[in-house]
Amino acid sequence: MFTSMLEGLSAYGKAFSVLSELKLWKYFAIPIIISLCIALSVFSVVYGWADDLGAYLATAWPWEFGKETVTTISTVVSGLLIVIIGLLLYKHLVLAFSAPFMSPVSEKIEAHYYPKSTEVKTEASFSSLLLRGVRLSMRNLTREILLTLVLLLLSLIPVIGIFMTVALFLVQAYYAGFGNMDFTLERHYQYKESIQFVKRNKGMAIGNGLVFILFLLVPFIGALLVLPLSVTAATLTTLPKIKAENT
Higher-confidence position of 191 and 60 = 191
Higher-confidence position of 207 and 104 = 207
Tell me how far apart the alpha carbons of residues 150 and 36 are, in angstroms, rounded to a whole number.
30
What residues does each domain of the chain span?
Answer: 2-117+124-240
What was the pLDDT predicted at 192? 92
pLDDT per residue as tens digits for the range 5-64: 999 999 999 999 999 999 998 888 888 888 888 878 877 776 666 666 666 666 766 676
148 contacts: CB under 8 Å, gap ≥ 6: 84, 88, 168, 171
Residues in the chain: 247
In the predicted model, is pLDDT for residue 116 greater than 80?
no
In the predicted model, is pLDDT for residue 70 greater than 70?
no
Tell me how far apart the alpha carbons of residues 94 and 36 are, in angstroms, rounded to a whole number.
9
Higher-confidence position of 222 and 195 = 195
pLDDT category at 109 given cuts 50, 70, 90 is very high
Burial 122-156 (b: 16+ CB within 10 A, else e): eebeeeebbebbbebbeebbeebeebbeebbeebe
Mean pLDDT over 134-156 rounds to: 87
Tell me how far apart the alpha carbons of residues 159 and 106 are, in angstroms, rounded to a whole number.
42
Whether the predicted model's global pTM rises above the 0.85 cut? no
In the predicted model, is pLDDT for residue 81 greater than 70?
yes
